[in-house]
Amino acid sequence: MFGVEGLEKQAGLELPESSSKALWVYLEELSIYAGQHKVLEGELAKIASNDEDYGLLMSIHSVGQFSAVVIKARIAEIGRFSGKTKLESYAGLVPRVDNTGEYISRHRHMKYEDDVLKVTLTTAVKGAIQGRALL
């Protein structure tokens, strides 16, 4: 729908004048955003090419330039975490549950988490899972 053929098809639709004008505005905005996205991709490529950490992150299946830059930016200095469980907890991947036997805790079940890092990591995992399903 948003590929070249799909956009050409949408631009050629016969619609009432008000709808046609609205569609034209939306397609023009999409064109502007696509141009900005290309500029951003170029900047990310420059950032990623100057640091071996990005290469290591991008060697992970389904972690691309954008995800690698986000992961490194959100983690910052890895040495600030005393162990992998601290990093996992910071990323929001470890639930905090105080349930014992019959007792069920009524508090928030996650420690402080970095939502941006969590979304980036879970999206990469979903991409890896979907990629394997296609194989």
Q: Which SS3 state, helix, strand or coil, does residue 95 take?
A: strand
Instruction: Please count the helices (runs of H) and the strands (runs of E) in the chain.
Output: 6, 0
Q: Which residues of the chain have pLDDT under 70?
A: 2, 95-99, 104-112, 132-135
**135 CB-near residues (< 8 Å, 6+ apart):** none
Summarize pLDDT for 45-57 with one digit per residue, the tens: 888 887 889 889 9
Q: Could you give the CA distance from residue 70 to residue 47 in angstroms, rounded to a whole number?
A: 11
Instruction: Give the residue ranges of DSSP H helices in 50-96.
Output: 52-58, 65-75, 84-90
Stated pTM of the model: 0.64
